[in-house]
Amino acid sequence: MSSLSGRTAVAGIGATEFSKESGRSELQLAAEAVFAALDDAGLSPSDVDGMVTYTQDSNDEIAVAREVGIGDLSFFSRVHYGGGAACGTVLHAAMAVATGAAEVVVCYRAFNERSGRRFGQPNARLSGEPSSQGLEMSWHVPYGLITPAAWVAMFARRYMHQYGVTSEDFGRVAVAMRRHASTNPAAWFYGRPITLAEHQASKWIVDPLHLLDCCQESDGAVALVVTAAERARDLRRSPAVIAAAAQGSGSGQMMMTSYYRDDMSGLPEMGVVGRKLWEKSGLSPSEIQTAIIYDHFTPFVLNQLEELGFCGHGEAKDFIQNGGIEIDGHLPVNPHGGQLGEAYIHGMNGIAEAVRQIRGTAVNQVAGVQNVLVTAGTGVPTSGLILSQG
* C-alpha pair distances (Å), 72 with each of 36, 49, 51, 69, 302: 20, 6, 11, 10, 44
Percent of the chain with pLDDT over 70: 96
User: What is the amino acid identity at position 194?
Assistant: I
> Using CA atoms, how far apart are residues 78 and 258, in angstroms rounded to an integer?
24
Confidence bin at 159 (pLDDT 50/70/90):
very high
pLDDT at site 23: 83
Sign of the CA dihedral running 243, 35, 235, 360? negative
pLDDT at site 20: 83
Is the pLDDT at 1 greater than 60, yes or no? no
Please say whether the beta carbons of 273 and 263 come within 8 A: no
Exposed / middle / buried, residue 234 (Cβ in 10 Å: 0-12, 13-18, 19+): exposed
Rounded average pLDDT over 40-66:
97
Task: Looking at the chain, list the stretches that DSSP marks H as alpha helix, in order from N- to C-terminal side.
Answer: 26-41, 61-68, 86-98, 132-137, 148-163, 167-181, 196-201, 229-232, 268-281, 298-307, 316-319, 338-341, 348-359
Mind listing the domains of the chain with CATH numbers?
8-116+215-389 (3.40.47.10)
- Contacts of residue 353, Cβ cutoff 8 Å, sequence gap at least 6: 292, 334, 335, 336, 342, 362
> Using CA atoms, how far apart are residues 47 and 71, in angstroms rounded to an integer?
9
Tens digit of pLDDT for each residue in 208-248? 999 999 999 999 999 999 999 999 999 999 999 999 999 99
> Using CA atoms, how far apart are residues 5 and 372, in angstroms rounded to an integer?
15
Task: Please identify every residue annotated as catalytic.
Answer: 294, 344
Is the pLDDT at 127 greater than 70, yes or no? no
User: What is the amino acid identity at position 15?
Assistant: A
Least confident span in 9-13, 139-143, 165-169, 278-282: 139-143
Mean of the per-residue pLDDT values for the chain? 94
pLDDT at site 72: 97
Is the pLDDT at 52 greater than 80, yes or no? yes
Is the pLDDT at 67 greater than 90, yes or no? yes
Closest CA to 259 of 162, 154, 380, 165: 154
Is the pLDDT at 154 greater than 90, yes or no? yes
